[in-house]
Every structure is written in structure tokens, then in C-alpha cells.
A and B are shown apart, each in its own frame.
Chain A
Amino acid sequence: ETGVTQTPRHLVMGMTNKKSLKCEQHLGHNAMYWYKQSAKKPLELMFVYNFKEQTENNSVPSRFSPECPNSSHLFLHLHTLQPEDSALYLCASSQDIGNIQYFGAGTRLSVL
């Protein structure tokens, strides 16, 4: 398998649930990103990891908790979400920070 793979593709959760989104890149890249895409809004950068180290947290609420165990894997742990958190969550990777970013297909999250 090549590229950036995200699982699950769709997720429905209640406000009290805890779930995790997974991203895996098979491109040998060093940097990974989480974005949020809501209807009628531009993509919003959430987190940036470079060589497993978090380099940017774009004022994201603490109910979103990222984890990057190695350069190929990135997780987004979710807990106590709000309905306004419903969106498409996209993972991306790049060779290094500042290079072209390649995106996964996203996880469509619905919070009830």
C-alpha cells in the first residue's frame, strides 16, 4: 500500500465517548500533520509533527490529543467532543517541514 492511509473513514460518536483516529504514511516522510475541514471553511491546521516531535499546536482544544509514536504513524485521540467538532479530519505528510504535503482521504467524524 502506498501514500497516506487514514482509518476509520467514517466515525459517529457521542459526546461522552473516547475514540482515536489513525494515520499511516508509506512515503518515508519525516513530517506529519492533522487538519480539520468544515463545510464552507478553509482547511485548518491543528498539529504538526517533525521527526516525532510536535512543532505546532494551532490553539486546539485539549479534547483533541495527538500522538506520534514514529515518523510513519500519527494518532488523534478524541474525548468529550462537541457537536461543532463534526468535520472531515485530514492527515498529511511531507518529506520535511515546508515541503509539498500529501493528504490521506480523511475521517468523516459526526458527534451526536
Chain B
Amino acid sequence: EDQVTQSPEALRLQEGESSSLNCSYTVSGLRGLFWYRQDPGKGPEFLFTLYSAGEEKEKERLKATLTKKESFLHITAPKPEDSATYLCAVQAGGGSEKLVFGKGTKLTVNP
């Protein structure tokens, strides 16, 4: 069974304090790993897709990396507006195509 585990469940940072969020996964043939950001009262907003181990993608203060067992979302010098819940999802190959989500990491950045 495909599984996604995100850690920590919640993370509090001071503005400017860099850190990383973890997404560990077990999947039968990874087709893609997705990162989303979700603000309170809103739907998830797409951030990145990673397809193969060693791949990295960046957007502003965020950088996502992928290995064969996990993905990291690195946040460099975060700002209060980066506060949100970050969701990780995997898509298995083999025809199912559906996304399996983790429970998310709630990030709070204090000014």
C-alpha cells in the first residue's frame, strides 16, 4: 500500500530561521512527488513536482529535493507570509494515477 508520512506535524520558526520539512514515502513505482501549500480556508496550491531521485526545484525561498525514499522542502530565510500547511503527495505508476497525500506540516513563521 502506498504511504506518505510528513514530519514534523507542526513547526514554528522565527523570521529568517531556515529549516526543512520531510516527506517519507513508500510507493510501488514512483511516477511523481508533489508539494502543495494550503492556507486556512483555502484549497491546496501547487508548488512543485519532482519525478526522479536527485531532482531539485526552487521557487523563491523554497527548494524541494527528492531521494528514493523521501523528499525535503527546504525553506530559506522564511517570512511570516510563508506560514501555511505544506502537503506532500505521491503518484504511483502502474495505471492508477491517483495522488496519495500525507497529513501535512503546519508551518508558523513568527515576525
Contacts and interface: CB of A to CB of B under 8 A. Distances in A.
Interface of A: 4, 6, 40-43, 45, 48, 56, 58, 90, 92, 97-98, 100-106, 108
Contacts of B41: 105, 108
Contacts of A42: 4, 100-104
29 contacts: A4-B43, A6-B43, A40-B103, A42-B4, A42-B100, A42-B102, A42-B103, A43-B44, A43-B101, A45-B98, A45-B99, A48-B98, A56-B98, A58-B98, A90-B43, A90-B44, A97-B97, A98-B91, A98-B97, A100-B34, A100-B46, A101-B34, A101-B99, A103-B36, A103-B44, A103-B45, A104-B43, A105-B41, A106-B43
Contact of A106 (B42, B87, B89): B42
Nearest to A103: B43
Nearest to A10: B41
Interface string B50-94: 000000000000000000000000000000000000010101000
Contacts of B46: 100-102
A58 B97 CA distance: 13
Interface string B27-52: 00001001010000111111001000
Contacts of A4: 43
A92 B89 CA distance: 14
A100 B103 contact: no
Nearest to A100: B46
A45 B91 CA distance: 12
Q: Which residue of B36, B43, B102 has the most chain A CB atoms within 10 A of its CB atom?
A: B43
Contacts of B98: 45, 48, 56, 58
A103 B42 CA distance: 9
Contacts of A48: 98
A41 B103 contact: yes
A23 to B, nearest CB: 11
Contacts of A6: 43
A42 B49 CA distance: 19
